Amino acid sequence: MRLVIPEEAVVLAEGTSYVYVVNEDNSAKMRAVKLGDAFDGQQVITSGLSAGDKVLVSGLANRMLRDGALINVLNAEELQKAE
């Protein structure tokens, strides 16, 4: 199955592509993914994600984000208000 996520959700480190997935306890879990084509700010993921996974999109530039870090989850409307 191929899934499409915003390009800014992809983190590149040491030659591997990752995304942060939000666990049920609101912790961030770094997960390796394989990339397909990119288009219009979107990235196709060919493996490593499942339908329904919550992918962290905002806050990735924060170098303090680490695997297992607790995060605050905001929906798009809440995020707009926070910015």
Residue 29 maps to which CATH number? 2.40.420.20
Q: Provide the pLDDT for residue 82.
A: 63
**Going by C-beta distance under 8 Å and a sequence separation of 6 or more, which residues neighbour residue 20?**
9, 11, 28, 29, 30, 31, 55, 56, 60, 65
Range of the domain at 54: 3-82
Counted domains in the chain = 1
Task: Give this prediction's pTM.
Answer: 0.82
Q: Are 22 and 57 in contact (CB under 8 A)?
A: no
Q: Provide the pLDDT for residue 67.
A: 86
Q: Provide the pLDDT for residue 80.
A: 65
Residue reference for tokens 């995020």: 79
pLDDT in tens, the chain (83 residues): 789 999 999 988 889 999 999 999 999 999 999 999 999 999 999 999 999 999 988 766 656 678 888 888 777 676 667 66
